[in-house]
Structure 1
């Protein structure tokens, strides 16, 4: 069995798992299929491309298990024409998938190594509407205006108000919140006018966000 066939089967198995879990967004699954995850995954972990396992990256970062990553994007309910902010670029995979659907993605990371690698991955994938930037994600993105969707992949101790202020009315924020020293949970915040509604969704593998840019990476 060659690598391409193996990955096609891996995607098909993942899609079946997601559908059985209620993830039936055909546009999202099509965007995932059109964005080969192998292009974003380190060579030594190609066998785990469509698995549920965390995949290590440089700088102590990681790719979420594929099921979890798609589940996050499903909860964002991304639509064409939207402007999206991602805090925590990682490999660039989730930004690339969002770029297949939305109009423009800004993804930021405190590690220049990850940003540079993600930029190369995005170029290989032919994604042109994602901007990857080296920036501190702990205090918002001053001067960038508002977004329809915000995805954060590092945990805060409480809801980060600065990101809520970046949401348009009708917008959605997904953010991991530390519930205790060992438990982290994805929280969805929906904005309607000046009102913010919170939903606690499911546990997540994220670590607390680290402020400031990395000094050497």
Structure 2
């Protein structure tokens, strides 16, 4: 079976599973279909690229399961012309998908190893409007202005105010929050003027965010 056929079959099965949850966003699913998942999975995990399992990456990081990643992006409600911030680049898969919908994506990671890997993965898929930067995401992104959408893939103990301040009015923030030492949930924060509305969405596999840049990785 060719890689292209495997991609098509993996995508079709994912769409059928998520359709049962009411996830039918055409623009998002088109962007996912145009972003070969196998380009982002490590060689030894190619067979798992389209599964619902998390896939280990270097530096103790991981790729979210295929369904979870798309569910996460669906909850972000991306639109064309938007400016997006992602904290926690990982493989670069979610940044690549967002780059096919939004106008510009800035994605940051504390591990230089992951930054380099994501840049190579993005080059393979031809996505040109995603900027990958080696940066500490625990304290916001000073000097980068505001964003329409913010996606964070490492957990905080409470809502991080510094990222809320990066949101434009009408903007959306998705952030995992540790509800206990072992329980993490994705929370959606919507900003309208000076008001912030919170909605708890679903459980997540994320780990607490680590401060500062990694020294060696």
Q: Mark yes or no: TM-score above 0.5.
A: yes
1:52-100 CA deviation, whole Å, 9 max, x = no partner? Answer: 0000000000000010000000000000000000000000000000000
Deviations for 1:101-158, whole angstroms, at most 9, x for unmatched residues?
0000000000000001100111111011000000000000000000000000000000
Alignment-derived partner of residue 131 in structure 1? 131
Q: Alignment length, in residue pairs?
A: 217
Partner of 1:164: 164
The equivalent residue for 1:174 is 174
Q: How does 1:1-217 map to 2 (within 5 A)?
A: 1-217=1-217
User: Which residues of structure 1 form unaligned runs of 5+?
Assistant: none
SS of residue matched to 1:138: helix
Normalising to structure 1: TM-score of the pair? 0.99
Give distance in 1, aligned partners of 2:127 and 2:9: 24
The Cα of 1:185 is off from its aligned counterpart by 0.2
**Aligned-pair Cα RMSD in Å:** 0.6
Q: Structure 1 stretches (4+) deviating beyond 4 angstroms? A: none
